[in-house]
Amino acid sequence: MSETKKDDLVTLLIDDQEISVPKGTNVIEAAAQLNIEIPHYCYHPKLSAPGNCRMCLVEMGMPMRDRGTGEPIMDDDGKQKIGWMPRPAIACNTAAAPGMQIKTQSPMVKECQEGVMEFLLINHPLDCPICDQAGECRLQEFATDYGRGYSRFVENKNVKPKRTRLGPRVTLDDERCILCSRCIRFCQEIADDDVLGFVDRGSYSTLTCYPGKELANNYSLNTVDICPVGALTSNDFRFKMRVWFLKETPSICTESSVGVNTEVGSREGKIFRITPRRNDEVNDTWMSDSGRELYKQVEAENRLTAYRASGEEASPDEALDSGRALLQRKKTAFVGSGHLSVEEQFLFSKLADLAGAVRTDLVSHIEEGDGLLISADRTPNVRGALLTGLIEELPSQKLSALGEAIDAGEVENLVVYREDLLAAGLTKEQLEKVSILYLGTHQNDTSAIADTILPTLTVFEKSGSFVNQQFRLQRFMPAVPGPQNVGNDLLVLSALINAFPDQEDLSGIDHVWQEMGKNLAVFEDLLFLRIPPEGKLLEVPEKLRDLPYAEGKTLHFYPAAAKAPAG
Amino acid sequence: MATTPQEKRIILKNIDQDGYTRDIDCYLANGGYEVLKQTVTKDPADLCKEIETSGLRGRGGAGFPCGMKWKFLDRKSGKPIYLVCNADESEPGTFKDRQIIHKDPHQLIEGMMCSAFAIQAACAYIYIRGEFPEGAKILEEAIEEARKKNFVGKNICGTKYSCEIYVHRGAGAYICGEETGLIESLEGKRAYPRIKPPFFPAVLGLYQCPTAVNNVETLCNVKHVFDMGGEEYAKIGKPGNTGTRILCVSGHVKKPGYYEFEVGSLTLGQLIYDVCGGLPEGRTLKAVIPGGSSAKVLRADERYTGKTKSGEEFDWSLEDIPLDFDSLMAAGSMAGSGGVIVMDDTTDMVEALGNINAFYAHESCGQCTPCREGSLWMKKITTRMLEGQPRLEDVDLLKSVADQIAGRTICAFGEACAWPTQSFVLKFRDEFIAKAEKQIKESSPSREPALAETE
Ligand SMILES: Cc1cc2nc3c(=O)[nH]c(=O)nc-3n(C[C@H](O)[C@H](O)[C@H](O)COP(=O)(O)O)c2cc1C
Ligand code: SF4
Ligand code: SF4
Ligand code: SF4
Ligand code: FES
């Protein structure tokens, strides 16, 4: 982010502490910078602020000026007097102003918070023991932090529908809804799919979908994330696991080159959900529904777990020996993948060099982008392949040149990582002419005919990094262990590299990074563990700057040709 | 119909007079549209000054000075300016705008065109209450008549100024009368009031353009200000409370109805006894709500003392209170929408509040927490009290709930629904307590001795 200029800063006083913030910052965010929490429900940093929950009420004062002359009014100490507003103000839609003073702890503020908490609870069901939100529920949290702790309500609670299907992935419990309108605003302002709204009035207001429509867009599950209570639940996650048992592991979505930051929730080696991790430069607080499904590949039926040598199921050692033997042959070509991590691409490239590869290809996967968080390039790491030198040019979708080389008898052996060569345009006849060493996580038509198979791990089972469309280096960590016997990719690659004389052991990720730093200028002085949580923008080498990349506009990315919108 | 001697009819001058009809010929025969013809030859800025000089205050409820409202219109933005007539008249006890629309629609149209020209509006809307289908039809017809005579539409009265008026039927909710809710509704959305700041209509109103929202009666008054000049108009009524006011009297009086008076020219007592013929036989006055159901209730057997805005000390009985904006404010209530609700000694105050609470719980738009939940809670409490389960602590609980609403909501509905409860339990606490005590005695006659025994 660009440095904020000094004159664009305003200084205000919150609970007697001074803070300078960029113009336009609201009081909730300004207070957060001082580690002062102003409780809020309807406000969300990435959506418009309707000011409807009234949980964020604070006392506000402004420096006084004479109405007639405009001159400041001073007190006895020579300081400008503060005129305190008789009514509380909403912190969420009050912009910081020079000299403004805010009280977040005064008796009036406490009373407002107690009042709003009481109001939110009187018609709220006592569902916590069976509610998915329990443990990460703002209503629970603020009730204990800001509520009175006892009830004065002796009337009957309102009754509303408990299980409304809003769409294929989202279910609504209207009794739990606190009518904050976050979900509605998300659909209007982010997903551009204005299907949610309230019907009826007052306390009987009910969230619903427009008649004949449903909440089915590919971002619908974000409403579940931002719902401050347990009103919206994900059909996939509902009633499966109490959230406090989940281990949260930072990860990166592999759906496209956007590189959405995610958090993988797992317990005892099983993944239960994927949720977005905030990164204001990449995905804000959002992710696609389809990206959340990707954990299912871990336990997919077509998962590759068996080793193969000479076309027969084999032990890991036999398969490895068979692979090493293939690498000693001449006329070998390599096919890598934009799905591999930077580290894997580096080692794969090294391996290709050692084996004297005839050629190295990558298969590109281009589809239409959605303008939001799924780009046209449906692999997470083509930039990494370019930076590590695995490839020199942008890949194409069809491997016709490789096919010709096979036909011409220039290629007799293939090392294929993850890709399906048939899908990439090679013919069965061509593949019958070559011996194949296949590395990958899932079965496909290529693995089916490979002579040698070395199964590897999914993104959820290992560490590594990707370089997204912005040339931002981002890191992922292992959430769950891989299937028994399946080796970590780096371990497998290092073992293959060691088939050649005088090679170091490169199975440790730190070691790989030292090696990359020595060989590639962009990675100089970088270490895996030093990649910051929000990623690191890399200095793009000259020759990679103006390649015809496939991405169009996405949430935070505009190709050089298109100009970023102002503001 | 004969005019009551205490009245001064400007707006209602022709209404209900023998032979007066709402068609344009009758209006023209009575001098109609002469003011508009003059107005469009004048300088709009001067016209706005006239309104300021007149001291005209809004008749929709808040009593905000009309001249100042127009001055706040953001003319620098370069965006079109809109004029919106608030004809949503839904405040219980208020029924004046409907009379004007039904019986003298051209007066409103002329007032609107004069106002539109003064603020140089690009286009004008009449937002009429959904439950007034007849009124909407009448307005449509009248606008068509006026358009044919070139008082509405293109090149008004042969000038370069053009302005269309559109009638928009309301969405059938009280909150549609709140000006920012009205604007949302006019834009085709739910009438959810907007937060102010930043959405002051004068700056970010209809379609985010500067907008003047004025009540029917206010806009009619504009015509008369332009007719007689701001200075002359300001001589009617009292300083800061100029002009006339239409009051709608309902409840326990012999002659309920709508009347127009010079502001401050008579007291509440004169209104009830001299104009409205007093209470039904044998009854005594108990309480008055002077400005529509959301105004605070005033108790009859109480003295009202204090200082007026201009610094004069006063010591009034309820009957002594002069009917103007500032005096009613000084007495602890407000002139509001002009709906005067009179209650005699047969009124059960818990029931009266229960009725009002039911209305507000039904009409809260539900957008913001305190009003949405508080209004229904108050209703549930008063309903339970009336259904035979009152508790001694209810009166304090009611007050506490109301206190948790007022001043903390998005729009003034918060106050509108809290003030009745706050004032009823303050002024008639004895009745709320008595109700609970009576119930306790009836349901457990042995309770007191039993308590005594345990001591
Ligand atoms: C809950 C609520 C309901 C209102 N209903 C009406 C109404 O029905 N008619 C009206 O003229 N003003 C109504 N108002 C007042 C309007 O918001 C606004 O102040 C008025 O239209 C301004 O016109 P004026 O300045 O000419 O009085 C209402 C206000 C509130 C808070
Ligand atoms: S939404 Fe929160 S408070 Fe409500 S039932 Fe669920 S966990 Fe409990
Ligand atoms: S469902 Fe959740 S996000 Fe949507 S309005 Fe209700 S509480 Fe807010
Ligand atoms: S105060 Fe009541 S009517 Fe006004 S916005 Fe809030 S909920 Fe709606
Ligand atoms: S956060 Fe809801 S009103 Fe401010």
Task: Give dist(CA A499, CA A437) in Å, integer.
Answer: 15
Is the pLDDT confidence value at B367 over 70? yes
Q: Whose CA is nearest to atom 12 of ligand 1?
A: B60
Residues whose CB is less than 8 angstroms from the CB of residue A387 and which lie 6 or more positions away in sequence, other chains included? A342, A467, A520, A522, A523, A538, A541, A544
Q: Are residues A151 and A99 in the same domain?
A: no
Contacts of B175 in chain A (CB under 8 A): 201
Superfamily for B24-229? NADH-ubiquinone oxidoreductase 51kDa subunit (3.40.50.11540)
* A559 located within any domain: no
Is the pLDDT confidence value at A1 over 70? no
Contacts of B391 in chain A (CB under 8 A): 154
Q: Are residues A97 and A234 in the same domain?
A: no
Least Cα distance to A60 among A21, A22, A88 occurs for A88
Of the candidates B197, B198, B362, the beta carbon closest to that of A202 is on B362
Q: Are residues A104 and A166 in the same domain?
A: no
Least Cα distance to A259 among A368, A373, A339 occurs for A373
Kindly give the distance from the C-alpha atom of residue B380 to the centroid of ligand 5, in angstroms, as a whole number. 26
Positions of CATH 1.20.1440.230 in chain B = 349-451
Angstrom CA distances, A270 to A128, A238, A243, A248, stand at 24, 16, 13, 12
Nearest CA in chain B to A178: B369
* A48 located within any domain: yes
* A553 located within any domain: no
- Where residue A340 sits, what CATH number does that domain have? 3.40.50.740
Positions of CATH 3.10.20.600 in chain B = 241-342
Task: Give dist(CA A447, CA A351) in Å, integer.
Answer: 20
Positions of CATH 3.40.50.11540 in chain B = 24-229
pLDDT number for residue A260: 98
For B370-381, write each residue's pLDDT tens digit.
999 999 999 999
Contacts of B380 in chain A (CB under 8 A): 155-156
Q: Give the DSSP H or E segment for A307.
A: strand A307-309
Give the confidence band of A78 by pLDDT, cuts at 50, 70, 90.
confident
Pairing type for strands A164-165 and A170-172 reads antiparallel
Owner of token pair 């908490």: A117
Is the pLDDT confidence value at B447 over 80? no
Nearest CA in chain A to B396: A152
Owner of token pair 């709140």: B178
Helix/strand/coil for B134:
helix
For A309-363, write each residue's pLDDT tens digit.
999 999 999 999 999 999 999 999 999 999 999 999 999 999 999 999 999 999 9
- Where residue A262 sits, what CATH number does that domain have? 3.30.70.20
* A550 located within any domain: no
Task: Give dist(CA B27, CA B113) in Å, integer.
Answer: 15
Task: Give dist(CA A42, CA A370) in Å, integer.
Answer: 27
Least Cα distance to A97 among A158, A23, A34, A176 occurs for A23
Nearest CA in chain A to B404: A115
Sign for the CA dihedral angle at A287, A289, A291, A295 comes to positive
Kindly give the distance from the C-alpha atom of residue A125 to the centroid of ligand 2, in angstroms, as a whole number. 8
The ligand that comes nearest to the alpha carbon of residue A232 is 3
Size of interface A-B (CB pairs under 8 A): 96
Domain boundary among A262, A279, A299: A299
Q: Are residues A445 and A520 in the same domain?
A: yes
pLDDT number for residue A4: 54
Q: Are residues A285 and A333 in the same domain?
A: no
Q: Can you tell me the ipTM of this complex?
A: 0.94
Domain boundary among A276, A299, A322: A299
**Minimal CA separation from A52 to chain B, in Å:** 4
Q: Are residues A211 and A357 in the same domain?
A: no
What is the CB neighbour count within 10 angstroms for residue B3?
A: 14
Whether A139 lines ligand 2, by a CB cut-off of 6 Å, is yes
Least Cα distance to B119 among B184, B252, B19, B214 occurs for B214
**Minimal CA separation from B174 to chain A, in Å:** 11
pLDDT number for residue B446: 55
Q: Are residues A390 and A249 in the same domain?
A: no
For B26-82, write each residue's pLDDT tens digit.
999 999 999 999 999 999 999 999 999 999 999 999 999 999 999 999 999 999 999
For A198-223, write each residue's pLDDT tens digit.
999 999 999 999 999 999 999 999 99
For B176-213, write each residue's pLDDT tens digit.
999 999 999 999 999 999 999 999 999 999 999 999 99
Which H, E and C letters describe A92-133, residue by residue?
CCCECCCCCEEECCCHHHHHHHHHHHHHHHHCCCCCHHHCCC
Is the pLDDT confidence value at B449 over 60? no
Phi, psi (5° rounding) for residue B127? -95, 105
A41 CA closest ligand 3 atom index: 8
Name the token pair of A408. Answer: 């011409």
Contact B251, B343 (CB under 8 A): yes
The Cβ-side half-sphere exposure at A371, using a 13 Å CA radius, reads 4
Task: Give dist(CA B165, CA A521) in Å, integer.
Answer: 70
For A116-167, write each residue's pLDDT tens digit.
999 999 999 999 999 999 999 999 999 999 999 999 999 999 999 999 999 9
Nearest CA in chain B to A52: B368
Q: Are residues A111 and A130 in the same domain?
A: no
Cis? peptide before B198, omega within 30° of 0:
yes
Task: Give dist(CA A400, CA B121) in Å, integer.
Answer: 68
- Where residue A87 sits, what CATH number does that domain have? 3.10.20.740
For B230-260, write each residue's pLDDT tens digit.
999 999 999 999 999 999 999 999 999 999 9
* A563 located within any domain: no
What is the CB neighbour count within 10 angstroms for residue A264?
A: 26
Sign for the CA dihedral angle at B384, B385, B390, B391 comes to positive
Does the pTM surpass 0.90? The reply is: yes
pLDDT number for residue A5: 63
Cβ–Cβ of A178/B369 closer than 8 Å?
Answer: yes
pLDDT number for residue A564: 46
Q: Are residues A70 and A91 in the same domain?
A: yes
Least Cα distance to A539 among A548, A526, A556 occurs for A526
Task: Give dist(CA B286, CA B251) in Å, integer.
Answer: 12
Average pLDDT value for residue range A440-455: 97
Least Cα distance to A561 among A382, A537, A550 occurs for A550
Residues whose CB is less than 8 angstroms from the CB of residue A315 and which lie 6 or more positions away in sequence, other chains included? A307
Q: Which of A179, A189, A204 has most ligand 3 atoms within 8 Å of CB, for mutation?
A: A179
Q: Are residues A325 and A473 in the same domain?
A: yes
Q: Are residues A337 and A454 in the same domain?
A: yes
The full DSSP string for A186-230 is: HHHHTS----EEEES-GGG-EEEEPTT----STTTHHHHHH-SSS
Cis? peptide before B201, omega within 30° of 0:
no
Residues of A with CB under 8 A from a CB of B: 50-55, 57, 86-88, 90, 93, 111-112, 115-116, 118-120, 122-123, 152-156, 158, 178-179, 197-198, 200-205
- Which residue range is the domain that position A392 belongs to? 307-545
Q: Which of B89, B126, B180, B215 has most ligand 1 atoms within 8 Å of CB, for mutation?
A: B215
Is the pLDDT confidence value at A3 over 80? no
Contacts of A143 in chain B (CB under 8 A): none
Q: Are residues A245 and A341 in the same domain?
A: no
Task: Give dist(CA B193, CA B190) in Å, integer.
Answer: 9
- Mean pLDDT over the full length of chain B: 95
Owner of token pair 């019958």: A432
Least Cα distance to B193 among B182, B204, B202 occurs for B182
Least Cα distance to A409 among A367, A358, A449, A363 occurs for A358
* Domain total in chain A: 3
Is the pLDDT confidence value at A77 over 90? no
A233 or A6, higher pLDDT: A233
pLDDT number for residue B311: 87
CATH number of the structural domain B349-451: 1.20.1440.230
Contacts of A53 in chain B (CB under 8 A): 368-369
Domain boundary among A299, A325, A341: A299
Kindly give the distance from the C-alpha atom of residue A172 to the centroid of ligand 3, in angstroms, as a whole number. 9
pLDDT number for residue B3: 73
- The CATH class for the domain spanning B241-342 reads alpha beta
Give the confidence band of B454 by pLDDT, cuts at 50, 70, 90.
very low
Contacts of A119 in chain B (CB under 8 A): 369-370, 372-374, 377, 404
